[in-house]
Structure formats: structure tokens, C-alpha cells
A and B are shown apart, each in its own frame.
Chain A
């Protein structure tokens, strides 16, 4: 299984808790903004769900070759 990477723009994040509720295994809130539990993860659709559900589009998910998987613009 290939690995995905999660980038989180903490300057854009407003701490809605969407991602922590959508993918609780992958995100946690720290000091009011979200942070990925691990920046490199096994493929998991929940991570894409979280990125697509973020109203600020603050989460970027990339495949192993760097292609952006989410969010779709």
C-alpha cells in the first residue's frame, strides 16, 4: 500500500473540528487549530473526506508521487 502525505496550513485553519470529527484517527486539535497525527499515512479515504469537508481548504493530501488528491479545486 502506498503512502499519502498530509499537509495542514495552520495559518488558514480556524479549528472548526470538521477534520477531527470526520477522521479522528488522523487529526487532533492543539491550541485551537488542527494538526495531523502523522504526516505520512497509509491510504485512507477518511483523510480525503476530511480535506474535502474543510471549509477553509486548509488540508492538502498528496499521493506518494506528489499528486494532490484533495481538495479538488
Chain B
């Protein structure tokens, strides 16, 4: 069996590397070699990916065991656990502390606030006149404002935490030292906020976590700080990049764009379809370790083996999605796994959906002549892809 170097070379445009779909067809569970820590498996079919993500025989926590040497992109193993490297029941204990605030029902109550923010941002963009960089005008400020308000993080600190966050989700875009330093800065920053919430509790998520730590002993100080960092970073990097990615794809696809403009009731379905097809992840993150022998597409995974998955490839599995590489806003059934599957299914999924619907829906309504202004460069060497800038005219 051929061993392939992983992650694959990054493409310039927002495309899925063709190797994923070739492997999905010919070698659905492939052997891959990472820059550090040796070899692992890469699963690309829908059912296999779901199994790896949700079956309790695959562990995230095993990555953190002392002496573990897991295939990875950075020279050193992570030393700090966080919510993404935990298994149930520890993972459940932490997640439950904030899960209520992220349900579809509670998120829907924030729609009005999201609309108000988007309206204000687009007013400003219009007043300044074309061209505008949509990343700075809309994509970044919307999710950052919302997650700041939910967590209780001061919006005026965004310059600081955006820079750290950029480095924290890097693979090769920053040096290993810079990535580690950025994570430490985020930890210290959240640690400082925790102290403030302790002195002056407010109606926000960090205060809830502080109370769960101080009064009920439901999580450790390390868990509290790393959870705060994870919520802040994941709460904006993903949605911010997706807003840019979605606008880019729509503006390059006049047929689908026209369809959406003609019938705005298609917006929710369009967002699901864009979620399905967009290669957001630069990949090679979050391997699972098998804790028992498991068979995936005829390949025997042995206890201790590391398995990587690619959700975007899974979302284009022809056994689940008809014409999988086509953007189709009329799919009756769209069970994509862009938000993952199982215990680590994105806690912010309902929030992201709502923000994307409001942002894209309002942008198209207010700027009927919106178009790209020149070439677009995509970020590289990161866990999450998105445009560096998105210059538009109208």
C-alpha cells in the first residue's frame, strides 16, 4: 500500500484537493505520513468518517496520554488538553455547562441582534462607498461581536485576540514557537478575564463557567481557561472565514447567485449547500486514536492507530449526494457533516447557521449589483481557509 505525504499540497483557489476524491473512490482508508509522529490513516467516505467521529472505539483523549507520539504537523505534541481533546464523560461534563446557550432555540433568539449588527455594518460599508473589503466590513466583525457578547469578552480587545487566534489555528503559516506563544497569550488573556468575572460576575458565559468552577467544582482552572479560549477562537474564526468563502463562491457563480436573488426563501437551503461543498478545513487536525480493532471499508484499524478524516470529501461522497460536486440549492436531503458528527459536533452550529443566513441574505438584498473587484487570495497553512481580503464593488 502506497504511503502518501499528508497534508496534501494546498491549492491556491478554494478547492478540495483532487487526491481526496481519488482516494475516496480507490482507497477509502489510505495510509498517510505526517511531517512528525509517523503514519496514520485517512478516511474519506461518508459512512467511515461518521464512524470515526462518533464511535466510542475512537478516542480524542488518547492523543493527550503521557508519551503519546501521534502523527501531526507540529514538531512537539500538544501539552494542554482542551474540549477538543476530551472524550465523554469528561467532554460531556464541560460541554453541558454551556450547551444550553447554543441550542437552536436560544440561538434563534439572537437573530434580531445579528440582524441589527449586520444592518449597522452594511450601513457603514455603503456610506464609505466602493470598493470595500468584505472581510473587514462584515465577515470578521459580525461573529466577533456576537461571540464577545455571549462570552463576555470586551469587543475593544479584538485587535489583540484576533492576532493570537490567527496564529493559534495555523499549521505552517507561523513558526511552531509563534503558534505555541499565541496559545499561551490567549490562555493568559482569558485567565485575566476570568479574574474580572470572579470579582464582577455578569450575565455571560465566562461568568457561568467561573461560577461552575468556584461554587460547584465542576471544572478545573485549566479546563476553564482552555474552554474559554476554544469558545472564543472557534466562535469567530470559522464563521468569519465562511462568510468570505460563501460570498466568493456565489459571486463566481452567476447562475446560483441569480437563483438566490430571485428567491430569497432559498437562503437557508443555500447556506446548507455551501456548508456542504466548501473546503473550509486545511485538514490534518484532530486525529482519532482507535482503542479497539475496527474495520473501515475492509481495512482493519488496530488499537493505537491514528485516523484522520476529511469532512469535505465525505460531503461529496456520491453514495450519499447526487452530483456531489455541484452546488444545488434544491437538495431535498442534505445530511452534510461540515459541523462534524458525534460528541464533538460543533456546539456553535445553530449559531453559525443563523449568522450565515443573516449575513448572506442581507448582503444580497442590499447590494443587488455586488461583484468581485479583482483577484482573491486565500489564506494558506492554517486549519481553516478563507480569503485574505475580499474586495467588492456595487
Q: Indicate if the CB atoms of B50 and A55 lie closer than 8 Å.
A: no
Q: Which residues of A contact B335 (CB under 8 A)?
A: 15, 32
Does B392 have its Cβ within 8 Å of any Cβ on chain A?
no
CB B239 to nearest CB in A, in angstroms, measures 16
Chain A, residues 42-72, CB within 8 Å of chain B (1/0): the string is: 0000100100111111000000000000011
Does A16 have its Cβ within 8 Å of any Cβ on chain B?
yes
Does B339 have its Cβ within 8 Å of any Cβ on chain A?
yes
Chain A minimum-CB-distance residue to B339: A16
Q: Indicate if the CB atoms of B92 and A17 lie closer than 8 Å.
A: no
User: Given A15-B335, A17-B50, A49–B103 Cβ distance below 8 Å?
Assistant: no
Q: Indicate if the CB atoms of A22 and B92 lie closer than 8 Å.
A: yes
Q: Which of B14-22, B110-118, B209-217, B344-352 contacts A (4 or more CB under 8 A)?
A: B344-352
CB A25 to nearest CB in B, in angstroms, measures 10
CB B93 to nearest CB in A, in angstroms, measures 8
Does B188 have its Cβ within 8 Å of any Cβ on chain A?
no
Does B89 have its Cβ within 8 Å of any Cβ on chain A?
yes
CB B159 to nearest CB in A, in angstroms, measures 32
Chain A minimum-CB-distance residue to B107: A55
Q: Which residues of B contact A56 (CB under 8 A)?
A: 103-104
CB B91 to nearest CB in A, in angstroms, measures 8
Chain B minimum-CB-distance residue to A16: B345
Q: Which residues of B contact A8 (CB under 8 A)?
A: none
Does B96 have its Cβ within 8 Å of any Cβ on chain A?
yes
Q: Indicate if the CB atoms of B89 and A20 lie closer than 8 Å.
A: no
CB A10 to nearest CB in B, in angstroms, measures 14
User: Which residues of chain B (334-361) have a CB below 8 Å from chain A?
Assistant: 335, 339, 341-343, 345, 347, 349-350
User: Given A24-B56, A49-B92, A55-B350, A18–B342 Cβ distance below 8 Å?
Assistant: yes
Interface of A is mostly: loop
Write 19 A-B pairs (CB below 8 A) sorted by A numbering: A15-B335, A16-B341, A16-B342, A16-B349, A17-B50, A17-B343, A18-B342, A18-B345, A21-B56, A21-B88, A21-B342, A29-B54, A49-B89, A49-B92, A53-B92, A55-B104, A55-B347, A55-B350, A72-B100
- Cα distance A20–B92 when bound, in Å? 12
Interface of B is mostly: helix
Q: Indicate if the CB atoms of B102 and A49 lie closer than 8 Å.
A: no
Q: Which residues of A contact B103 (CB under 8 A)?
A: 54-57
Does B163 have its Cβ within 8 Å of any Cβ on chain A?
no
Does B53 have its Cβ within 8 Å of any Cβ on chain A?
yes
Chain B minimum-CB-distance residue to A49: B92
User: Which residues of chain A (13-39) have a CB below 8 Å from chain B?
Assistant: 15-18, 20-22, 24, 29, 32
Q: Which residues of B contact A54 (CB under 8 A)?
A: 103
- Cα distance A54–B342 when bound, in Å? 11
User: Given A15-B335, A52-B96, A20–B350 Cβ distance below 8 Å?
Assistant: no
Which A-B residue pairs are the 6 nearest by beta carbons?
A: A21-B343, A21-B342, A17-B54, A17-B342, A16-B345, A17-B341
Chain B, residues 47-58, CB within 8 Å of chain A (1/0): the string is: 000100110100
Q: Indicate if the CB atoms of B104 and A20 lie closer than 8 Å.
A: no
Q: Indicate if the CB atoms of B88 and A22 lie closer than 8 Å.
A: yes
